[in-house]
């Protein structure tokens, strides 16, 4: 297999860093008050078994391998799902599989002599089977974020089908579009009930079965799902048997393609999120807000978002990125892209990643924990201790999924004349250049992920395992509640309500795979070990590396 495009030599990762007296801090980056110093010593990064990601050929081979291993080890075709996944992580995994199929289809078009039709058809059959294997009835009664993962997943499948159909007009996958678009539309309708203006002046509630909590992820999902519905939904003519229960939704069916209500929801959602004070001093999104005094004496307390949970997770920095890319295309307002650039810079800086300038090599060494990782590698705080839950094992893959969507090439002309916008030559060049630069950091993370593979090709969750940090936080601050890794928090103050709260964003809905207490020489076999969630994380960062380092070429 020979791809037409190889990675430029300038982006091949060096084994030793070039020291600079200045940290990478492009205009608009937020580094807060941290005093960080790049250092020129420490372990080097290379792929598993000594391999390095030096060409597009290398990366693409690893993408195929990661997908093959994930599906052969975790997917059961006869029931159409990944049995070890819980509802929402299954929806995310399906999204990442759909995106991988799309990348393979694009590679097929850019390949001389190779045809990936069999690979595409094989894994699309898994995608289609999951439509029937997904527990749609159960998810309808879960938290609003769980519902929105479903929307994003089936819209991604539709985009992949439409791309494949553009090169193969008779491809069999096209027949599934009506079913996929129906589920996406129905689940968006269900989730939209979470938009609440009585508290905090707007914003999405997380879970109707708990005390009000307006969190980052549900609001980012609503933004990204809404703009994706506006741009990608072909409409929904199905009104049987799974119709929305309220009369307003029923009257609006069949769903219109590019319905302005979706655009309005996305614009309103981001307007609220940006003004919600949901970011910390590093420019990272914290988890969310409680309402002080809510429920006391039967009242709403202050009615304001005034008790902030300072916990930081990687996926809270990612999901909004696809929404910002879509909002730019739907409005032509480049401030949405600028906000995305700033957030990505902040994430990179919070892994200890530095930049010595456009003509110099990257510097990715930092003396310790920088907020979301170390030595330029993205991490969850739970990675080091091996205590990550099924939720947290999914987060890094989500971040790279939405980063990749943000970095899709900007169209020169409007894709939907009268509804969307094209980009000027200058803006297209700026966007492509930025994403190729970010691609170097992504490739660095892909190398780190590859270093966790075992002999069976399974990825671990702690990509930065080969580094020893002096500065890991010893404990969380009193204002940070890590409920994603400790579900008992949800039965405490600020969370529990008198309603049945068994269904909490996957927590308690289905038993997680057990956390293993075993003696192991492999640090990534601790805790939950290697799972479908850790495998999709490896697949996601590899696919992201391939897409970003070829930004603007496809």
Q: Alpha carbon 470 to chain centroid distance?
A: 29
In the numeric block, which tokens belong to residue 210? 């708990």
Q: Cα dist. 303→138, 294, 499 in Å?
A: 31, 7, 20
What residue spans define the domains of the chain?
2-548
Q: Are 401 and 95 in contact (CB under 8 A)?
A: yes
CA–CA dist 462, 385 (Å, integer): 9
CA–CA dist 189, 352 (Å, integer): 41
CA–CA dist 93, 420 (Å, integer): 29
Neighbouring CB atoms inside 10 A of 57's CB total 16
Please give the model's pTM, rounded to 2 decimal places. 0.86
What are the DSSP calls for 510-522, one per residue?
SPPPPPB----S-
- Give the architecture (CATH level 2) of 2-548: Alpha/alpha barrel (1.50)
In the numeric block, which tokens belong to residue 304? 């304001």
CA–CA dist 56, 54 (Å, integer): 7
- pLDDT value, residue 486: 63
The pairing of beta strand 288-291 with beta strand 213-215: antiparallel
- pLDDT value, residue 43: 38
CA–CA dist 260, 456 (Å, integer): 48
In the numeric block, which tokens belong to residue 264? 């309005």
Instruction: Specify the residue for token string 């159909």.
Output: 165
Compute mean pLDDT per 10 residues along the chain, 554 residues long, and list them: 34 32 34 32 39 68 97 98 98 98 88 78 98 97 98 98 91 96 97 97 95 97 99 88 52 76 98 97 95 90 94 97 99 98 96 66 65 92 92 98 98 96 97 94 95 97 81 64 66 56 48 51 92 98 93 59
φ, ψ (nearest 5 deg) of residue 190: -65, -45
With the CA atoms of 161, 165, 168 and 172 taken in that order, what torsion angle do they form, in degrees rounded to the nearest 10? 60
Angle of the 177-191 helix axis to the 117-133 helix axis, nearest 10: 50
Q: What angle do CA 460, 465, 466 make, to 5 degrees?
A: 130
φ, ψ (nearest 5 deg) of residue 195: -70, 125
- pLDDT value, residue 38: 31
């Amino acid at each position: 297999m020979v791809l037409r495009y190889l990675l430029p030599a300038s982006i091949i990762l060096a084994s030793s860093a070039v020291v600079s007296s200045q940290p990478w801090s492009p205009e608009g980056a937020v580094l807060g008050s941290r005093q960080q110093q790049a250092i020129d010593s420490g372990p080097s990064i290379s792929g598993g078994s000594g391999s390095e990601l030096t060409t597009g050929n290398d990366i693409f081979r690893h993408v195929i391998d990661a997908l093959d291993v994930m599906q052969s080890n975790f997917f059961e075709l006869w029931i159409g799902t990944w049995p070890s996944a819980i509802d929402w992580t299954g929806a995310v995994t399906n999204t990442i599989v759909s995106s991988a199929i799309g990348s393979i289809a694009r590679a097929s078009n850019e390949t001389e002599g190779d045809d990936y039709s069999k690979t595409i058809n094989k894994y699309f059959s898994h995608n289609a089977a999951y439509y029937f294997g997904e527990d749609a009835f159960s998810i309808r009664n879960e938290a609003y974020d769980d519902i929105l993962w479903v929307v994003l997943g089936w819209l991604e499948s539709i985009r992949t089908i439409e791309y494949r159909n553009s090169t193969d007009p008779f491809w069999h996958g096209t027949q599934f579009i009506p079913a996929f678009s129906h589920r996406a539309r129905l689940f968006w309708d269900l989730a939209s009930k979470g938009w609440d203006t009585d508290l905090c002046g707007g914003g999405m509630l997380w879970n109707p079965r708990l005390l009000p909590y307006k969190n980052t992820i549900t609001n980012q999902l609503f933004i990204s799902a809404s703009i994706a519905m506006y741009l990608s939904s072909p409409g929904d003519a199905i009104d049987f048997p799974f119709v929305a229960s309220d009369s307003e939704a029923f009257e609006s069916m069949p769903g219109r393609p590019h319905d302005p209500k979706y655009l309005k929801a996305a614009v309103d959602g981001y307007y609220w999120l940006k003004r919600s004070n949901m970011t910390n001093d590093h420019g990272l999104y914290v988890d969310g807000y409680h309402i002080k005094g809510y429920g006391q004496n039967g009242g709403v307390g202050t009615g304001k978002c005034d008790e902030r949970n300072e916990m930081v997770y990687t996926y809270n920095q990612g999901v909004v990125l696809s929404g910002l890319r879509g909002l730019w295309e739907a409005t032509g307002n480049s401030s949405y892209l600028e906000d995305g650039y700033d957030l990505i810079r902040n994430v990179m800086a919070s892994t200890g990643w530095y930049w010595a300038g456009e003509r110099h090599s990257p510097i990715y060494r930092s003396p310790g924990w920088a907020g979301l990782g170390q030595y330029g590698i993205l991490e969850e705080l739970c990675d080091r201790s091996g205590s990550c839950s099924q939720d947290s094992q999914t987060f890094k893959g989500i971040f790279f999924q939405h980063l990749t969507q943000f970095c899709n090439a900007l169209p020169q002309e409007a894709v939907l004349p009268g509804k969307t916008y094209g980009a000027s030559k200058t803006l297209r060049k700026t966007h492509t250049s930025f994403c190729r630069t970010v691609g170097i950091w992504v490739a660095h993370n892909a190398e780190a992920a590859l270093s966790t593979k075992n002999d069976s090709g399974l990825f671990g969750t702690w990509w930065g395992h080969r580094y020893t940090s002096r500065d890991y936080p010893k404990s969380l601050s009193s204002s940070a509640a890590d409920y994603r890794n400790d579900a008992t928090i949800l039965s405490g103050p600020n969370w529990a309500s008198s309603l049945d709260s068994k269904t909490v964003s996957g927590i308690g809905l289905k038993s997680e795979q057990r956390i293993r207490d075993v003696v192991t020489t492999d640090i990534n076999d601790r805790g939950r070990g290697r799972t479908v969630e850790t495998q999709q994380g490896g697949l996601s960062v590899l696919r992201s590396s391939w897409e970003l380092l070829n930004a603007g070429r496809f």
